[in-house]
Amino acid sequence: MVGIGRLDGGPRSAVVVGAGVVGLSTSWFLQERGVLVTVVDRTGMAAGAAWGNAGWIAPGLAFPLNEPAVLRYGLRSLHVPASINPRLWSFLTRFAANCRWSSWTRAVQANLPLNDECIEAFDVLTKGCATAPAIETPITAGFETPRGAQGLLRELRRLAAAGQAVEHTELTGDELRELVPLASPALTAGVRIDGQRYVDSGGFVQALGRAVAARGATIHTPDVVDIQPDTGGVTVRLATGQALRADVAVLATGAWLSDLARKWGLRVPVRACRGYSFTVPVDKPLPGPFSLPGIRVACTPYQDRLRVTGIVEFRDPDAPGIPARLAAITTSARPLLEGVRWEERRDVWVGSRPVTPDGRPLVGALRAPNVYVAGGHGMWGLAHGPITGRLLAEQITTGKQPTALRELDPLR
């Protein structure tokens, strides 16, 4: 690809490194603005965090991970390995320093513009890539005691105080079971959060990848070994020895973002927060997504089965999955759900969510000329990926940072 400036001064070509929802969304919106795109991802389309996650498009629940309660539960709740390497230790120290309400509130306010427009941007992409739209439905949370529900209700009140009111209703145990037939009698209280959506995340990202390719993008699957920017553009060097030349490069590599971006001014580290999921058949219907916040488990209808997602684990993104984590999800969820055939588990997946220590994503220009990053969305990359791509494409093609991205500046 040859980088040739457009008559309006904007870039004509881009290499996007990363074929997850953030990278592909950025590619699609760059194409909308007339930019020729090449996509590079070592594992291909939709192979990362998007494939097996819960699939929630839920701005009403997009809470940053760095809430103060995390420190009360300690590192055990985050499944941190016994042997911590220096970079992980440094990250956890910064993360702990940000587990206070002032930092949490700042992260919430930084994410508000993404929450406000995420569903609209998602709808644009579902129409553009001819995939099924996200299903609008409440998300219901279940608790063993009414006191347990107070934590979520407090977070919703804090979210409202920060500028995002979320319509919700408190439920008794009987009202909960009317909405969620799988809920066992052990759950005695609930909260229904209205106006949310869910989607087959892997199917959506695969369809988006096909649409980006159909619109002219070239796809490469080797590793990227180096980024060499200069005033005339960027050279992206692949492990095969091939060099891709373009006007700009976008790094959207999820949990691996720091590896390529660190030397170009990215000072906020990104670490892998891994989650596990699997699917199981059920004897009772689940009309919509269901959350068990007390054990950090999310359940979503998936085809004719139930996708169960859980665990917050800080480990290397390339490390193999730990079977005991799946057993832990089953053990904790079994007493709370009825009609689930746990022994018929399949579609086992482990994926890495990219987390920053301050709870704010990293979106925008690096110190190197013509190099941009997009990532660090934590648990909400699927929901915030499309709107991130739209805003970043605007910045790249106009040279002006959208107001919504100021708090997400990767050079902070």
Give the range with max mean pLDDT: 45-54, 125-134, 344-353.
Answer: 344-353
Q: Are 66 and 359 in contact (CB under 8 A)?
A: yes
Q: Where are the alpha helices (DSSP H) in 46-164?
A: 69-73, 86-97, 101-128, 146-162
Residue written as token pair 């066992």: 184
Which of 49-53, 301-305, 406-410 bottoms out in mean pLDDT, i.e. has the lowest?
49-53
Say yes or no to pLDDT of 32 above 70: yes
H/E stretch holding 56? strand 56-57
CATH class of 13-49+203-269+359-408: alpha beta
Distance of CA 68 to the CA centre of its chain: 21
Residue written as token pair 């795109």: 37
Say yes or no to pLDDT of 312 above 90: no
Give domain limits for the chain: 13-49+203-269+359-408, 67-105+130-197+270-355
Could you report the per-residue pLDDT of 138-180, keeping only the tens digit for each?
999 999 999 999 999 999 999 999 899 999 999 999 999 999 9
Strand order in the sheet with 371-375: 218-220, 36-40, 13-17, 248-251, 371-375, 362-365
Q: What percent of the chain has pLDDT over 90?
A: 82
Could you report the per-residue pLDDT of 180-202, keeping only the tens digit for each?
999 999 999 999 999 999 999 98
- In whole angstroms, what is the distance from residue 77 CA to residue 169 CA? 28
Q: Are 270 and 35 in contact (CB under 8 A)?
A: no
Supply the DSSP string of 187-240, one letter for each residue.
Answer: --EEEEEEEEEE--HHHHHHHHHHHHHHTT-EEE-SPEEEEEEETTEEEEEETT
Residue written as token pair 């950090």: 296
- In whole angstroms, what is the distance from residue 377 CA to residue 388 CA? 10
Give the pLDDT confidence score for residue 46 in this predicted structure: 60
Q: What percent of the chain has pLDDT over 70?
A: 95
Q: Are 46 and 202 in contact (CB under 8 A)?
A: yes
Say yes or no to pLDDT of 2 above 80: no
CATH class of 67-105+130-197+270-355: alpha beta
Give the pLDDT confidence score for residue 220 in this predicted structure: 94
- In whole angstroms, what is the distance from residue 118 CA to residue 122 CA? 6
Could you report the per-residue pLDDT of 202-248, keeping only the tens digit for each?
899 999 999 999 999 999 999 999 999 988 999 999 999 999 999 99
- Residue 108 backbone zone (phi > 0: left; psi -120 to 50: alpha; other: beta): alpha
Q: 115: pLDDT confidence band, cut at 50, 70 and 90? A: very high
Q: Whole-prediction pTM value?
A: 0.93
DSSP 4: -
Give the pLDDT confidence score for residue 70 in this predicted structure: 80
Question: Average model confidence (pLDDT) for the chain?
Answer: 92
